[in-house]
Structure 1
């Protein structure tokens, strides 16, 4: 008994240390009070957390444990409704996407989270320096475009040429950012943001493996062996498994009622495997278009198989209900460790693959009008 007590006593400091938060985010946004709330969602090395805090005279504080750098979304809702701020404000919500580390961070702003100043975070400063070199994030570009649309005259908002011109500007920003990220990854092999650049390029810009893999192999060993590095390596090699014309890898996960569903169950139909999550605003923004396409083609041999990378069943089911999604939905509820995501090498959501009736991959990363045109070619 004495030996056991001594062992426990020796382990106790380790247990306490493991529970001690290694980051804090303290802030003040104006003089906001209840019902105003601020929300923090973050992931670090494959593990994540979610927290919320009511503002008291504008003040709030978060703390937690992370390993290395964290990717996060922080949301401020003056009504205390996170979903409305993210999905119901036409891209004008007070939402930011930032990186931080195990640091003591301070956020201050007189009016909004979007305009807040950060101090005490070396990682955040690195992120801003990176953005200065390659350009603003896609989320920022779209936010700014939505601000422009919101300020447009009624005549402009009904002018298709106006929207085409604005879209042309957005695409130009994206192209420029893509080119600069590729160059950054080549010339900064020790930077975390080199790895982030390659992940974004492969996932969101469909950069081919033969271009990205040599750059990845030149990254530092620490980056290549990190959780994000291993995930990107799988993604780069998964492109051979999920190349156009390849047989779609089969997988089985449970639907919302706990019933196993396999991709092979849909053989004989065109199937869009749609990877998404309840917390993913671009995923939710694509839902109305998917609803239209499903209604138009479900009687012509088209199906959608939603694969969620959620870890919280309640939030997953609630998102399905709120968005009115009527096609089959499955998940293993392992969050970002979803097994189907690994098989298909997905490094970000939304992402999808279009499967032929014979079970072959005939398209990938088809969003918006690109998806609509592809379906019209196949099914009209």
Structure 2
């Protein structure tokens, strides 16, 4: 059974391209006379590019002290816990000091700017946490028979969406008043998820301080803006030149004077295969009226025979070129497929990511079909 409050969307950014060099971190703890000889556990995400790989380390308390060290690609959330589940949350930074009296829960974390800034953010988010905890209690206290009830689950989803709206409102407010707090960047990243719409991402990003915008973790978003300058609506599509399966060199500029759909795909891409009949139909309907398609295959050399086979099986009666050395996909910022860009006869981008009927409708409004 799915818990509506545990449905988590994790956006896997292509951060491996931007990963900072491995940075050493250390945690030094003073625990006095408590828990002598006991083992403590450190849990954290190893690297952004390995999201989903939870790293676990352990240390034994000796003479009232414990110590952890390791490598990180950027500041990341972690926890130090006892075997009984008692824990303290920290952010791994270059150097962290944890002072413990009689309980991990009430530990004092010092030694890094990020951990000093965390309480301000936690305080700002208390109203959301209160609402979230209340909603979780409703779910947990409900009898098992009720948890499977569709009406009950719908009511929980409604509350969950309201809670998300409240979280975003509080996070936006926090950003506006704490532009140089590291957790403004954390809040920004949570608000936009994997979004690439610069109309949404841009204003929020620009509120952040120069220091935060310059973080290594922020390079993904800086890259979005760089690509948007090249491939945004109204821009002249960047030129490229590549080879088709027969070895013929093809340039985008060869298609000037036509409406051209640059279609990024691959033979191994299921959604591409599902979408291809719509592109085939568009070519058939508008191909005699100044419309054409230029496919860009992301197949690597080892799968190019599959690419050639797919061109025939999927009835792609237009030119396809290879994405040699990932050159074209880098220019256009392609991190997932299918993706497409529609150009007018002057080479200007007039639409992006048209799917299904949207492609046909858009072409119908812009191309004069002579009867």
Larger Rg: 2
TM-score normalised to structure 1 length = 0.47
Q: TM-score, normalised by structure 2?
A: 0.48
